[in-house]
Structure 1
Amino acid sequence: MKTMPLSFASEPHATTPLRRWALRAASALALATGLFAAGVQAASAAPLRIGYSDWPGWVAWQVAIDKGWFKEAGLDVKFDWFDYAASMDAFAANKLDAVLVTNGDALTMGANGAKNVMALITDYSNGNDMVIAKPPARKIQDLKGKKIGVEFGVVDHLLLLDALQRAGMKESDVTLVNAKTNETPQVLASSDVAAIAAWQPNAGEAQRAVPGARPVFTSADEPGLIYDVLAVNPVSLAAHKADYEKLAKVWYRVVKYIDDPATQPDAVKIMAARVGLTPAQYLPLLKGTKLLTLPEAQQAYVKADGFRSLYGSSRAADAFNVKYQVYKSAQDVSAYVDPSLTGALK
């Protein structure tokens, strides 16, 4: 892979957002180790605390919150809204029982001491993560020899590498330019890069910033490359298994409500309001997210290679994380996957 100066690959001690997060998390964890486990019995009457942030598969929980479905289920749970990295900080500091993250970031948290199990799959990205190219490029192969902006060590770096591989190209066929994801629209518009890799809404902003810019690869081209999960502290899961079973049942009620054409408009209205968009603005973001039904989630929990399985997808994420120094040692993916909640439902 060709890289620009101060790249993650050429500078082992350079700090990407995930590396910076890992350093913060390690410090927080040193202060918090043992406190969560010691306080489980004393806190048994307290609500489950779950961190969520701005991604359609996680904003979907707002439907259950607004509809009062947790109370109906006899479940005492509090959802705390965060910026994404801050939610991982809070989980690492044992301020949350569970947090909504990508499967790759669940591994990152665990590798840095914040042990967790992926107890529920909410969705996979189905088009919201994109490689956006300037004209005249119309396909990935047209980017050979060109510069591509992407934030090193995050999920759309993985997406880009997968796109190159599927196109029969090597990393060395392009030059990767390290660019913060939230700056990719400006990077595509103002620099000499031919393309960027980013997730929504940044991907859409980048496309609008350059006339004729178009997606040449999206996460819809590789279903299951990026799963989104509820990562749960194993101590909390063991202590409150019945509550998490209720939570899982509510989740599939949410999925059914969103998927039903009769109720989807109301669901989209709720979700859009949570993030300050109109329903018309939010609907395309929802369409780029594949919420898994119960049978689909149960299938994704079957051990297998490839991206149709959470195991196979997470092994690919683990290899990526080690290669690009997000963390040092390969993780035992099987230890992170707990299919019991989903497997128990019918």
Structure 2
Amino acid sequence: MNLRRRTFMLASAGAAAGLALSRVAAAADNVINYGGSAWLGHYPAYIAIKSGLFAANGLDVKWQSFGTSSARLSALLSGNIDIAGTGIVSALALMARGSKHFAVAGAAEDFGKVEGLFAADDIRSVQALKGKKIGVTFASSSHLLVLDLLAGAGLDPERDVSLLNVPAPELTSALKGRQIDAAAVWTPYFSKVRAMPDMKLLADDTSFSLYKQFGVTPGPDVLVVRRAFGSKSPEQVRKFLTAYFQASVMLRDKPAEAAKYLTELTGLPLPDQIATIKEASWYDHAQQQSLLQPSSKFMTGLQKLSDLLVTHKQLDKSPSVRDWIDTSYL
């Protein structure tokens, strides 16, 4: 082989290798690691993966499942995931500690009717819980709901009832085994407890003290973005939000179609899955700017929620929530 031909072949091989590397790099740029669970706040992301909405927007979104919002946010801060859905309570805890490594980029839905406090049906009111054992997952929206309901009923959570920290997946069996008299649960466990005989729904999130005035549940779902990722790949975050809220519109306008993508995730029968979707109000892309404006009713409600967590000794101090809002990706 002469030198000229060998040089040409080496150059061609180098160009091909460079092209392959550039394609790998481009593909890597399109990968987003998302932190989710079977909770309904993650439905849009799961649907956008399964239906191809993310792919249609040029994204390869990888799903990682976490049992709690706190675990999900730990993964976000460590760089293992890029975007996550989370209940605001866990995000507020990080805000109160001054963490600036993430931003709130969107609001998912209003889930006021799929989280609530159930009790054995001989317990007719929240007041009747005095002296009873209540199972709840601590540091969650359900925990705050229970504290709020007890305060409204004039009950002291430290003296008048026994609050037991029970992981959400174990609450159903704890009720069945009569280890607890009542439980605060969210979907899909909400639907499973509601289907149990001899159970009574004492209150859902629409009974929360901030709900009627501000439309804020005990732990509204938000989308959070790791700031380092958002700074590096802002266009990818925008594409993610576009597809995510396209899936939200499907949930709102075509619940039966959306439900078919979700039963594998939640384990709910299709009719129950459709009912769960219909019980939430799904926010679309166009609503985000107004929801996340500093002076909006929703944002005022989030700040009052943060203040309430301090009142109930769930936070040491209340952060200025608006400092973590970033609408630039919308």
Q: TM-score, normalised by structure 1?
A: 0.73
Q: Deviation string for 1:132-156 (max 9, x for gaps)?
A: 0212233323334544232332221
Please point out which of 50, 60, 74 is paired with 2:44: 60
Structure 2 counterpart SS, 1:216: strand
How many residues align structurally?
295
Corresponding residue number in structure 1 for 2:16: none
Corresponding residue number in structure 2 for 1:187: 174
Structure 2 counterpart SS, 1:80: strand
Q: CA deviation at 1:79?
A: 2.8
Corresponding residue number in structure 2 for 1:274: 265
Corresponding residue number in structure 2 for 1:149: 135
Which residue identity lines up with residue 264 of structure 1 in the other structure? P
Distance 2:136 2:29 in 1: 45
Instruction: Give yes or no for the alignment of 1:76 onto 2:59.
Output: yes
Corresponding residue number in structure 1 for 2:10: none
Distance 1:266 1:60 in 2: 13
Q: CA deviation at 1:317?
A: 3.9
Which residue identity lines up with residue 80 of structure 1 in the other structure? W
Corresponding residue number in structure 1 for 2:278: 287
Query: Which structure 2 residues correspond to residues 22-171 of structure 1 after superposition, within 5 A?
Result: 45-73=29-57, 75-85=58-68, 86-110=71-95, 111=97, 113=99, 115-167=101-153, 171=157
Range moving further from structure 2, 192-201 or 233-242:
192-201
Which structure: larger Rg? 2
Contact map agreement 1:119 1:337 (CA 8 A) in 2: yes
Structure 1 counterpart SS, 2:138: coil
Distance 1:304 1:178, change over 3 A: farther
Corresponding residue number in structure 2 for 1:254: 247
Distance 1:150 1:278, change over 3 A: closer
Uncovered stretches (5+) of structure 1, i.e. residues with no partner: 1-40
RMSD (CA atoms): 3.2
Corresponding residue number in structure 2 for 1:316: 305
Corresponding residue number in structure 2 for 1:34: none
Structure 2 counterpart SS, 1:117: strand
Please point out which of 291, 295, 300 is paired with 1:300: 291
Corresponding residue number in structure 1 for 2:233: 240
Contact map agreement 2:145 2:205 (CA 8 A) in 1: yes
Q: CA deviation at 1:231?
A: 0.8
Please point out which of 203, 206, 216 is paired with 1:220: 206
Corresponding residue number in structure 2 for 1:10: none
Distance 1:332 1:77, change over 3 A: farther
Please point out which of 310, 316, 323 is paired with 1:335: 323
Corresponding residue number in structure 1 for 2:187: 200
Distance 2:65 2:310 in 1: 24
Which residue identity lines up with residue 216 of structure 2 in the other structure? G
Distance 1:42 1:252 in 2: 24
Uncovered stretches (5+) of structure 2, i.e. residues with no partner: 1-24
Which residue identity lines up with residue 339 of structure 1 in the other structure? T
Contact map agreement 1:123 1:290 (CA 8 A) in 2: yes
Distance 1:54 1:97 in 2: 19
Distance 1:77 1:331, change over 3 A: farther
Structure 2 counterpart SS, 1:84: coil
Q: Deviation string for 1:80-110 (max 9, x for gaps)?
A: 2312345334212212221111111122345
Contact map agreement 1:189 1:206 (CA 8 A) in 2: no
Distance 1:205 1:266 in 2: 22
Q: TM-score, normalised by structure 2?
A: 0.76
